[in-house]
Amino acid sequence: MNVCFSGLGGQGISLLGLVLGEAAARSGHNALQTQSYGAEARGGASYSIVIVSKERILDIAPDELDLLVAMSQPAHDRFSGMLGAGGRLFYESELVRPAGPGGLGIPATSLSRRHLGKELYANMVMLGFFVREGRAVDAARAREAVAACVPERTVGDNLKAFEVGYGHEP
């Protein structure tokens, strides 16, 4: 399974890739995560590609994506063409307007602000939604991975954000 998290620097895109890779590994799968971000730490393009497989992973750059998470319009525009047949799009509905029909949107930024008082946790809101709807990894393993990958002092808020997204109905 080839997954791409994409957005802008400062949205926590790399962390999403790390958490998915960790959750996949905790589920007994092989996982490979690569990331890239623009010259600007905040506001530049950012993406993380995660390959999850029961088999050995021999390629670091997939030609097609099975799942795409787009947290910004430029990210959507750049990667949506890589979705393969049957590929699924998940997007930040307040920041992205998909070119075609389909896909599942969530107002992750607003939900983060409403439930946690700041936009900082929009990535974890998106992750919870993605885990439930995309079924890429087991939710319990994803929760464990969140707790393992974020700073200890933020575990509670990150898990709360995950649950907000996990409970959101599209």
Q: What is the pLDDT of residue 118?
A: 96
Q: State pLDDT tens for residues 114-124.
A: 999 999 999 99
Q: What is the pLDDT of residue 61?
A: 86
Q: State pLDDT tens for residues 60-90.
A: 889 999 999 999 999 999 999 999 999 999 9
- Cβ neighbours, 10 Å, residue 167: 11
Domains and CATH numbers, the chain: 2-166 (3.40.920.10)
Q: What is the pLDDT of residue 42?
A: 59
Task: Please state, in angstroms and rounded to a whole number, the distance separating the CA atoms of residues 19 and 104.
Answer: 21
**Dihedrals phi, psi of 167, to nearest 5 degrees:** -90, -5
Mean of the per-residue pLDDT values of the chain: 93
Q: State pLDDT tens for residues 6-35.
A: 999 889 999 999 999 999 999 999 999 998
Q: What is the pLDDT of residue 11?
A: 92
Task: Please state, in angstroms and rounded to a whole number, the distance separating the CA atoms of residues 158 and 123.
Answer: 9
Cα Rg of the chain, angstroms: 14
Look up the pTM and report it: 0.92
